[in-house]
Amino acid sequence: MFTYIIYKSIFCVVIFAISLGVAAYSTWWERKFAGLLQDRWGPSRAGWAGLLQPLADGGKMLFKEEIIPNVANKFLFVLAPGLFIVTAIMAGVLIPWGAPMTIGGVSYPLQVADVNVGVIFLLAVTSIGVYGIMIGGWSSNNKYSLLGAIRSSAQMISYELAMGIALIALIISSGGSLSFGEMLAKQDAGVANVVWQPLGFIIFFVCALAETNRAPFDLAECETELVGGYHTEYSAFKLGLFLFAEYINMFVSSAVMAGFYFGGYNFPFAHEIYQAIGLQEGSWMISMIGFGVYFVKTLIFISVFMWIRWTIPRFRYDQLMNLGWKSLLPLSLLNLAITVVVEYFRGNIKF
Question: How many CB atoms are closer than 10 A to CB 307?
Answer: 14
pTM of the predicted model as reported, rounded to 2 decimal places: 0.92
Residue span of the structural domain in which 105 resides: 2-345
Containing 156, the helix (H) or strand (E) segment is helix 143-173
* Structural domain total, the chain: 1
Closest C-alpha to 203, from 152, 149, 159: 159
Where is 108: in which H helix or E strand?
Answer: strand 106-108
How confident is the chain (351 residues) per 10-residue block, as mean pLDDT? 79 87 91 90 87 89 87 91 88 86 81 83 84 89 86 86 92 84 79 89 93 82 70 88 89 92 88 84 86 93 92 86 93 94 78 59
The residues pairing with 276 across neighbouring beta strands, listed in sequence order, are: none
Beta strand 106-108 with 101-103 is antiparallel
Tally Cβ neighbours within 10 Å of residue 284: 14
**71 phi, psi to nearest 5 deg:** -90, 0
Residue 25 lies in a domain: yes
Q: Is residue 351 part of a domain?
A: no
Comparing CA positions, the residue from 87, 208, 113 lying closest to residue 155 is 208
Q: Is 28 inside a domain boundary? A: yes
12-36: b or e for each residue (b if 16 or more CB lie within 10 Å)?
eeebeeebbebbbbbbbbbbbbebe
pLDDT of residue 114: 80
| Model pLDDT, residue 275 | 85
On the 0-12 / 13-18 / 19+ scale of CB atoms within 10 A, 293 is buried
